[in-house]
C-alpha cells in the first residue's frame, strides 16, 4: 500500500495547480505531480499495474473507434 502515498501527493499537487494563480507554483506542482505519479506506478503491485495497462489499452481502442482514427493512407487500422 506504499504506492498510495505518492499517488495522494500527486493528486494534491494537481489540485493546487488548478487552484493557484501563480505560474511558478503551477509549474512546480505539475513537476511534483508527474514525479509522484510515476513513483506510485513503480511502487504499485503487479496486479494493479496490469489493471492499469488493460484499462489504458481498452480506453485507446474506445477512443480510436469513437473518433474514427485513420492512418496516413486513409483506411482504418487493423486493431
| pLDDT tens by residue, 53-68 | 888 888 888 778 777 7
Position of cell 489504458?
Answer: 56
pLDDT of 3 reads: 82
Comparing 52 with 71, the larger pLDDT belongs to: 52
Alpha helices in 1-79 (DSSP H): 4-19, 23-43, 46-66
Q: How far is CA 35 from CA 5, 43, 69, in A?
A: 12, 12, 31
Q: Where are the domains of the chain?
A: 4-66
Position of cell 494563480?
Answer: 21
Q: Which three cell numbers stand for residue 29?
A: 506542482
Other beta carbons within 10 Å of 13:
20
Whether 42 shows a pLDDT value over 70: the answer reads yes
Amino acid at each position: 500500500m506504499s504506492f498510495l502515498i505518492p499517488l495522494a501527493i500527486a493528486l494534491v499537487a494537481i489540485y493546487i495547480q488548478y487552484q493557484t494563480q501563480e505560474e511558478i507554483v503551477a509549474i512546480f506542482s505539475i513537476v511534483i505531480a508527474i514525479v509522484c505519479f510515476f513513483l506510485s506506478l513503480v511502487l504499485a503491485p503487479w496486479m494493479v499495474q496490469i489493471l492499469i495497462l488493460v484499462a489504458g489499452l481498452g480506453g485507446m481502442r474506445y477512443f480510436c473507434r469513437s473518433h474514427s482514427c485513420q492512418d496516413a493512407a486513409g483506411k482504418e487500422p487493423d486493431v
